[in-house]
Each structure stands twice: as C-alpha cells, then as structure tokens.
Amino acid sequence: MQLVFSDAQYWEDFLPLTFTRPVAEMRCGILTFSERWQKILENTEISYFTENYLQQKFKNPEEKESLFLVTNFLPTENVIQQIKDLKQGEALVYEDELVAAKINMKDFSLHQIEKMTDIKEELIFFKKPTDLFTYNDKAINFDFELVTKGRKSQELSSTNGFLGDKKDLFIEEGAQIEFSTLNTKTGKIYIGKNAEVMEGCNLRGPISLGEESKFNLGAKIYGATTIGPHCKVGGEVSNIIIFGYSSKGHDGFLGNSVVGEWCNFGADTNSSNLKNNYGHVKLWNYRTKTFEDTGLQFAGLIMGDHSKTAINTQLNTGTIVGVASNIFKEGFPPNLIENFSWGGFKDDERFKLDKAYEVAEKAMARRKVPLTDDDKAILKHIFDTY
C-alpha cells in the first residue's frame, strides 16, 4: 500500500521551514513526521502530495490505491487502529479536517470518499512552527517508545554522572559519552547511532541527539530539545529543534526555536526568547503577511535552510529568518529577515543565486552530501518567487 503524505492544508503555515520540504519531512521528537508514520504503519512505500516545485525532489504519488495521510499529529493507539482499518472510500476527520483516507490516486478526488468518521479523541496536532518546540516533549516521549521498544540500550560509561531511571535513557550503537552528566528525571534522553557527547556536557531531558551529531565540550542542554543527524551543538540551548546538518558549535544561547538544515551560527550568536516586558511574542505569518500574537511568552528563532549568522550576532525575540540568508551586520536585525538576504536588514541587497549555490555546495560537501540539480531548482524557485 502506497502512503501519500499530504500537506495541502498546512504547508504555508510552516514557512519558512517548508520552503524547501514538505511538512512530512520536518523533524519533531526523535523522528521526522515521515519516519514516524513509516514506523507506525510498517510501510516504506511513500510519496508526497505537496507544492509543484518540490515534487521533482519529493516523489509524486503513483496512480494506484493509497493511504492518503496528513502527517503532522501524534496518534493514539485507537486512532492508529482506525487508520489501519480504513476501507476503500473511507476517511477519518479531526476538527473538520481530513487526516486519513483510503483512495485511489489514479482518479484523485475527495468525491471518492463515501464515508467520513470523526476522531473523537483529543490529538496533539502541529499547526505552526512554534508547535514543534511547544509539544516536543510529547513527541520525544512518543518516539522513544516507538524507536526503543523491545531493544536494549548500550551501557552508559561509568565516567558519567547520572540522575533518574536508566529505562529513560537509550544509547544507540557507536555513541560515545564520557565525563558528562545526564538527568532523565525531567524527561527521556535518546542518543543516536555514532553520536558523541563530549566531556563536560550537562544534559537535562527530554533530549534527542541524532545520528552522527555532537554536543561540543561543556554544552548545556535543556529539554525539550531535538538535534537531528549530523549536527554540532555547543553553548547553551533550551527547548530547540534543529532538523539536521546544521551547526551551533560555539558559545551563545538559543531557546524555544526551530532551525532547518545546513544552517550555521557564528561564535557567540545569541537569540532572545523572552521579551523584556514578559509579554506575548509576535511572529511573522507568511499566510496572512502580518505579525501575529503567538500567545507564548517564550519564542525565539525560526530559521529556514542554508542560513548563516556571523560572530556576535544578536537576534531579537520572535525572529523569522528565511532561506539562504546571511546575517552579518552590526546591530539587532529586524524580526523578519527575507530569503537570500545579504546582511540581514531590510532593503539589503540579495545574496546572488550562483553564490548561494557555491556556499551550499561547500557546506554540504563537508558532510559528503551533494547539492543536486533538484536542490538548485528549489532554491531558484524560492529566489524567483518569494
């Protein structure tokens, strides 16, 4: 059965994170939404129903019987069973939004649906970027059980200090942790394959450190924090998500934030996550084209892929950074930094597209990942359109 991951309702709400990916490829908890559903449904035959310019990289659905699925929620056991039990022409609806349907993609139309069933249980639904860090503790707990069930953790080295219950710590094969402290009293800690926690780090769960990623010397990591694969993180972080392949390797604070892939933070970059007046934080909304009240007292940075900060960059509370932006000028940049900004301030010149390709190629080569023609086409579309 083909899984078709749809983001038709939510793609625009997650910008700038989704400029370069479908909603299903965002990370929250230990896994991406796509990875989570593949594990839940034990099915790796996947495709995407997303923006046209992304479909060259992210596979189009084949014209056959499929399970059409909105991925950005955490299901209960009962809802998982309801999804598995769907018959052709049946669908599940949550808060008036379709979340799953058994249909044939050959004649894709919601008119195929003959029976709709409302989900009565309350679900954790991710509808905007701040939801990713707000509910990240729930996602880490969900994924921890999904990923570790029936498996045995590697032993924690005796050089470390540990607080909590060992059942809430899972260390994958090849991971290294020495002379650090880990506290699972506040939440579970997952250390991915071949990851490294360098000496002097202090981890206070819930935390997920992805495959081949590192916490640098003396890092202070507060939960709920997710670091995706192939990242380097140092300094102090609290309740952040980094999708993968990004570096915040030096001192400086980052809290209540979501960062895409291939980003880099210069030494002593700091991002405020709390206003001086303790008021609610406003964030730019790409759909309404206005700054909207998040209802949150703590909200820091939302950064799209391939963006960079120079040393000593200071970011305001509630800052949105687009794709492939370079922030290096003196002073606090504005709360909205546009795609391909060269400097970070309003009306700055744009980062030339060919130079953006060049930087991306060099950054990705360090992780032995090529910048493909599909990647270039996506960046060009963003450059030309947004």
Segment 231-240, tens digit of pLDDT: 999 999 999 9
Q: Which two tokens stand for residue 291?
A: 């700054």
Residue-wise pLDDT for 85-96, tens only, equals 999 999 999 999
* Mean pLDDT confidence for 312-341: 96
Tokens for 321?
């950074």
Does the pTM exceed 0.75?
Answer: yes
**Beta strand extents in 55-149 (DSSP E only):** 65-70, 73-74, 90-94, 97-104, 115-118, 124-125
Report the pLDDT averaged over residues 291-314.
Answer: 97
Burial call 275-306: b when 16+ CB within 10 Å, e when fewer: beeeeebbbbbbeeeeeeebebebbbbbbbbb
The string of pLDDT tens digits covering residues 350-365 is: 999 999 999 999 999 9
The answer on pLDDT for 110 being more than 90 is: no
| pLDDT at position 194 | 98
130-385: which CATH architecture?
Answer: 3 Solenoid (2.160)
Q: Are 312 and 298 in contact (CB under 8 A)?
A: no
Of the candidate CATH numbers 3.90.550.10, 3.80.30.20, 1.10.3720.10, 3.40.50.2300, the domain formed by 2-127 belongs to 3.90.550.10
- Name the residue ranges covered by the structural domains of the chain: 2-127, 130-385
Looking up tokens 């994924």, which residue turns up?
A: 143
Q: Is the sign of the CA dihedral 25, 27, 28, 32 positive or negative?
A: positive
> What is the sign of the dihedral through the CA atoms of 125, 236, 195 and 154?
negative
In the structure, what pLDDT confidence band is assigned to residue 112 with cuts at 50, 70 and 90? confident
Give the mean model confidence (pLDDT) for residues 268-281.
97
54: pLDDT strictly greater than 90? yes
Specify the amino acid at residue 337.
I
Q: Would you say 267 and 252 are in contact if contact means Cβ atoms under 8 Å apart? A: yes
Total residues found in the chain within this entry: 386
Lowest-confidence pick of 46-50, 106-110, 297-301, 334-338: 106-110
Q: Which of 33, 32, 62, 37 is nearest to 47 (CA)?
A: 62
Mean pLDDT, all residues of the chain = 96
Averaged pLDDT for residues 309-329: 97
* Averaged pLDDT, 120-135: 97
pLDDT digits (tens, 9 = 90+) for 150-208: 999 999 999 999 999 999 999 999 999 999 999 999 999 999 999 999 999 999 999 99
Q: Once rounded to an integer, what is the mean pLDDT over residues 55-74? A: 95
